[in-house]
Amino acid sequence: MGINVWLVTLRIADLPLPDVLKDFVIRERGGIQELYPPQEEAVRKGLFDGRNMVMCTSTATGKTLMAELVMVNAVLTRGGVKAILAVPLRALAYEKARDLRIYERLGVRIAVTTGEYDKEDAWLMNYDIVVTTYEKLDSLLRHKAEWLKQVGVLVIDEIHYIDDDKRGPTIESIIAKVKALGLNTQLLALSATVGNAEEIANYLNAELVVSDWRPVKLREGVYYDGVIYYADGSRALIKDLGNPVLSLVMNTIINGGQALVFTNSRSNTVKLAQQISHYICNYGTKLIEPSALTKISSSIIETSQSKLLGEELARIVKCGVAFHHAGLDMDTRSIVENSFRDRLIKVVVATTTLAAGVNLPARRVIIHEYRRYEPGIGMEELPVMEYKQMAGRAGRPGLDPYGEAVLIARSEDEIDYLIRNYVNARVEDVKSKFLTDKNLATHVLSAIASGYASSIDDVMRFVSSTRVHSEWFPQE
Ligand SMILES: Nc1ncnc2c1ncn2[C@@H]1O[C@H](COP(=O)(O)OP(=O)(O)OP(=O)(O)O)[C@@H](O)[C@H]1O
Ligand SMILES: [Mg+2]
């Protein structure tokens, strides 16, 4: 017809997938009709032809949808094939599993498993898609459960965690074990924040999609003394309430948005949430719905396993504010997340528990502290990668018309420093952490104990299929 197909947006309806799946997605996935450009590129590079793929595309570009389609398609079209979705955090595993459950209506059985590492978990055999954490997946691979042979798709979400001291070597171990087992598995690795995406793609023998396109505009800036200094040079005046976080939060909710505040310790989340709730209950009750919040408050009292924390949270929640950290049990955290989604809780103050992957209606993300205490080291600056992950929680498609991320400067000089070193900075390359003494010992011993290596040669082979090998011996 003379039309250049490369210029035509790819529609869900045109994908090489079963009609039943395409119709279902169009109907049930919030009316998604067309692919975003980075999603389209993944399709053109062979995502549905079984190619390994690294998608390193901005936050909120729908990487999850692509993972879903690949996994469900494999289950529906390749009899008996299973898929695994591995994520870094338990909370994220539950969120992803909940979202995937819609596919149960197509007969796809979804399981989530995160706890108890020393079990084979034979029950998983009866499921088609298993959502899990890296640690749990590594444990399942150690047990070499029979059903693993049926895994045709493995998705590793948030692959930049390779850089994490604790979780990174686990990801490398997973990949080494998958290789050692000779599983015929398509690998899909996802992240918004990898500086050296090409190296990761080489390591995984994968096609690469890199993009900084974002469906919802994200403005980034720095707050100091009543003014937000945006990276594009523009400024916004904010009513100064004497406390930077409070000023930014109130400015957000007065304008109809919700705020997600990140700080560097559990006690800081509680302290900031107390200050904000105090202010709203005294001066901003018109902004909240007290009767609905009272109900949420009661359910927190009933649910929370920690009496003291639960009572404090329940008190604060009545003012439309909550804190969120790993000291709260999962059910209580879910109440907070769901009430924020329902737009009843207007402000959540969190540690990094909510910093990656989650979709929440946060118009403005506020980064209270860009430094964090590291035991034995002292105060350390956050990596750019972590900042960009937090910032990317703002402005999610379908939830807000735009997003904003604001860092807080403590002095005038810090404004430029933060713009340069965070807002305009390039995310770091991810580096292997496999070779630190403790990690090397733990993972090599576990490979030996679980039968992945029984000679020095085997150990060498195992280590050489981790990422560290390509970093240390790049010529090979
Ligand atoms: N083609 C599309 N059209 C419209 N909305 C879409 C499309 N693809 C995905 N979405 C929606 O975009 C939102 C964000 O998607 P998702 O959580 O997958 O982002 P992500 O790329 O994984 O981001 P992050 O790096 O922050 O984890 C979801 O609500 C999803 O339903
Ligand atoms: Mg994601």
Instruction: Name all residues whose Cβ lies below 6 A of ligand 1.
Output: 30, 32, 34-36, 39, 59-65, 192, 357, 359, 392, 396-398
Domains in the chain: boundaries:
5-214+446-472, 218-423
For atom 20 of ligand 1, the residue with the nearest CA is 60
For atom 7 of ligand 1, the residue with the nearest CA is 62
Assigned superfamily of 5-214+446-472: P-loop containing nucleotide triphosphate hydrolases (3.40.50.300)
Dist. CA 256 → ligand 2 center (Å)? 26
Q: Give pLDDT, residue 117.
A: 63
Q: Which atom of ligand 1 is nearest to the CA of 35?
A: 1
For atom 11 of ligand 1, the residue with the nearest CA is 62
Q: Which of 22, 24, 32, 65 to mutate to test the pocket of ligand 1 (most atoms within 8 A of CB)?
A: 65
Q: Which atom of ligand 1 is nearest to the CA of 36?
A: 1
Q: Which of 9, 53, 64 to mutate to test the pocket of ligand 1 (most atoms within 8 A of CB)?
A: 64
Per-residue pLDDT of the chain (476 residues; tens, 9 = 90+): 444 445 568 999 999 999 999 999 999 988 899 999 999 999 999 999 999 999 999 999 999 999 999 999 999 999 899 999 999 988 889 989 999 999 999 999 999 998 766 666 888 999 999 999 999 999 999 998 889 999 999 999 999 999 998 899 999 999 999 988 888 899 999 999 999 999 999 999 999 999 999 999 999 999 999 999 999 999 999 999 999 999 999 999 999 999 999 999 999 999 999 999 999 999 989 999 999 999 999 999 999 999 999 999 999 999 999 999 999 998 999 999 999 999 999 999 999 888 887 899 999 999 999 999 888 889 999 999 999 999 999 999 999 999 999 999 999 999 999 999 999 999 999 988 877 767 777 777 777 877 887 787 877 777 777 765 555 544 44
CATH of domain 218-423: 3.40.50.300
Dist. CA 339 → ligand 1 center (Å)? 21
For atom 29 of ligand 1, the residue with the nearest CA is 397
pTM of the model: 0.91
Spell out the SS3 assignment of the chain.
CCCCHHHCCCEHHHCCCCHHHHHHHHHHCCCCCECCHHHHHHHHCCHHHCCCEEEEECCCCCHHHHHHHHHHHHHHHCCCCEEEEEECCHHHHHHHHHHHHHHHHHCCCEEEECCCCCCCCHHHHHCCEEEEEHHHHHHHHHCCCHHHHHEEEEEECCHHHHHCCCHHHHHHHHHHHHHHHCCCCEEEEEECCCCCHHHHHHHCCCEEEEECCCCCCEEEEEEECCEEEECCCCEEECCCCCCHHHHHHHHHHHCCCCEEEECCCHHHHHHHHHHHHHHHHHHCHHHCCHHHHHHHHHHHHHHCCCHHHHHHHHHHHCCCEEEECCCCCHHHHHHHHHHHHCCCCCEEEECHHHCCCCCCCECEEEECCCEEEECCCEEEECCHHHHHHHHCCECCCCCCCCEEEEEECCCHHHHHHHHHHHHCCCCCCCCCCCCCHHHHHHHHHHHHHCCCCCCHHHHHHHHHCCHHHHHHCCCC
Q: Give pLDDT, residue 5.
A: 47
Q: Give pLDDT, residue 304.
A: 95
Q: Do the domains 5-214+446-472 and 218-423 sit in the same CATH topology, yes or no?
A: yes
Dist. CA 122 → ligand 1 center (Å)? 32
Q: Give pLDDT, residue 4.
A: 45
Q: Give pLDDT, residue 437.
A: 66
Q: Give pLDDT, residue 2.
A: 42
Q: For residue 212, give the amino acid letter.
A: D
